[in-house]
Structure 1
Amino acid sequence: MTTHHRTYLKPPSLTAMGLGALWPSAGWQSKLGFPTFSFIWRGYRVGTDLLCELQRLAGSDDASTTDRLLLLAPHVTGFRLTLAMLMHPDWPLPIWQALQLRNRLIRSGDLKVAVPSDLIAQATAWRVHDKGIELDVHVQLLQGDDCPWESVTTFYYRGRFAPPLTHGPLEGAALTSPTIDPALAPIAHWNVDGDRRLRFARLTGDGNPLHLFDAYARRTGFAAASAHPQRIAAQCLGHLAPSPPPRQLDLWLKGPVYYGRAVTLRETRSDHGDDFALWVDGDERAAMVGRIS
């Protein structure tokens, strides 16, 4: 198993990440699994400009919405560190095979805005299924001696990888999402605007052209370019009913949310928290499901 440690003193370069992704991948070897990587971004900050951008997308800057957005914020700009790891030349599978599947975002303390912090990303667990591999990437935000925020992002690589193998515990969002009744009355309805999509790509480090160019997306079989999941999550969080500051947000990403399409949001409460789901109008299946607890 390859071990690689890397420290960044500034945001990982998009150019270097792109060149790394072009390097031929070694391919999956079951005896090796995924590499033991530890990528650290020193001086990372949850910026006030980021929070303002998320409030703009959410359409609200009230206290309840801002508390939710603080839970989401490190997953936006910190996502670049995860991508730098998955696009490294020594990573065994190419980034274009990776599909973001689930997120678990946890806030366990006072997350300070605009304070220099350390962000650490590591691949911690994976599960080989009949038709693909699930990979969990654990990210921690350290502010001094405290770790007020962490996340587990689950990616899925399609394909057949033998033999069956499980490594590490399942610590991310549950395999099965909550069920939201599509007959519930909507709490919000809006059109997904495609403005500033390049700005959001720069924030996340995710320059996948499927998020940027309608013509490219159509050539690859999609109806149009689709919004980054973090962007759609911010919009959903701005429409939910007021609630106490959340400690955990789970997201299940089930399909693309295209720019220019109308979407409908529904919310319900369960014993586990506030559940919500977003439908692209005309689709029977929800494109995003979430739970705040």
Structure 2
Amino acid sequence: MTTHHKTFLAPPSLPAMGLGALWPSSGWHAEQGFPEFSFIWRDYRISRQALDVLQRLAGRNDDVTTERLLLLAPHVTGFRLTLAMLMHPRWPIPIWRALQLRNRMIRHGDVKVAFPSDLIARAIAWRVHGKGIELDVHARLLQGADCPWESITTFYYRGRFTPLFSRGAADGAPSASPVVDPALPPVAHWTVEGGQRLRFTRLTGDTNPLHLLDAYARRAGFAAASAHPQRIAAQCLGHLAPTQAPPRQLDLWLKGPVYYGRAVTLRQAAGDDGDDFALWVDGDERPAMVGVMR
């Protein structure tokens, strides 16, 4: 199994990531699996400006919303470190075959804004099944001696891979999402605005043109360009009903694209472990995003 450790002293360069993604992939070999990579971003910071962007998307800047967004912010602004790993020339499967499937974000303490930190990303588990591979990437935020936040992002590579096996514990969001009744009265209804697409791309490092260009998305078979899932998550967190305590865990299931310019409806219900919510693009029977906020 290939090992590789890389340290960034500045945000991973988007052009360099793009060049890495163009390098021919070695292909999947079960005996090698995914590389034992450890990517570290030194002096990583959640900037005040990035939090302001998320607050504007959420439509609220009260204390309750800010606490929710601090659970999401490291996933947004640190996502490019995960992408740098998945776009590395030694990664066995090309990035364009990867689909972000589920997220689990956990707060263990106070997440400090504009604080010099270390962000660490590594692949911790994968499962090969009949229709593809699920990969779990673990990210940890270190602020001084504390680890106030961590996440597990599950990606999916569609295709036929053999043999069928699993490696590592599946500690991310479970494969099955909660079911939110579509007959519930909505807690919010809005139209997904499509401005500042490039600015949000710079925040996440996700330069997929499906999130930027309507013409490109239509040629690829989609109705239009779709918003980054993290952008939609911020809007959901701003529209959910207030809770008494700050959330400590957020699980998300990404089930379909949310196109710019489309109206969406958010519903919320009390679940076994917290507040369940789901977002529907108007006219669709299936929700595009489901979440649990604990």
Q: TM-score, normalised by structure 2?
A: 0.99
Q: Any idea what SS the aligned residue of 1:238 has?
A: helix
| Deviations 1:92-144 (CA, angstroms, capped at 9, x unpaired) | 00000000000000000111110000000000000001010000000000001
* RMSD after superposition: 0.4
Output the CA distance in 1 between the equivalents of 2:233 and 2:35: 30
Match of 1:123 in 2: 123
Amino acid at match of 1:226: S
Amino acid at match of 1:72: L
Match of 1:260 in 2: 261
| Deviations 1:202-234 (CA, angstroms, capped at 9, x unpaired) | 100000000000000000000000000000000
| Deviations 1:217-253 (CA, angstroms, capped at 9, x unpaired) | 0000000000000000000000111111000000000
Match of 2:80 in 1: 80
Q: Any idea what SS the aligned residue of 2:75 has?
A: helix
Match of 2:209 in 1: 209
Amino acid at match of 2:277: F
Match of 2:56 in 1: 56
Percent identical among aligned pairs is 76
Aligned residue runs from structure 1 range 276-291, under 5 A? 276-291=277-292
Q: Answer yes or no: is 1:187 the counterpart of 2:187.
A: yes
Output the CA distance in 2 between the equivalents of 1:250 and 1:106: 9
Ranges of 4+ aligned residues in structure 1 off by more than 4 Å = none
Output the CA distance in 2 between the equivalents of 1:184 and 1:46: 36
Output the CA distance in 1 between the equivalents of 2:292 and 2:211: 24
Q: Any idea what SS the aligned residue of 2:239 has?
A: coil
Q: Any idea what SS the aligned residue of 2:190 has?
A: strand
- Alpha-carbon distance, 1:271 to partner: 2.0
Amino acid at match of 1:33: G
Output the CA distance in 2 between the equivalents of 1:148 and 1:228: 25
Output the CA distance in 2 between the equivalents of 1:175 and 1:93: 22
Output the CA distance in 2 between the equivalents of 1:79 and 1:269: 30
Output the CA distance in 1 between the equivalents of 2:9 and 2:201: 21
What is the number of equivalent residue pairs in this alignment? 293
Q: Any idea what SS the aligned residue of 1:217 has?
A: helix
Q: Answer yes or no: is 1:175 the counterpart of 2:175.
A: yes
Output the CA distance in 1 between the equivalents of 2:6 and 2:128: 27
Amino acid at match of 1:192: V
| Deviations 1:3-33 (CA, angstroms, capped at 9, x unpaired) | 0000000000000000000000000000000
- Alpha-carbon distance, 1:42 to partner: 0.2
Amino acid at match of 1:261: R
Match of 1:41 in 2: 41
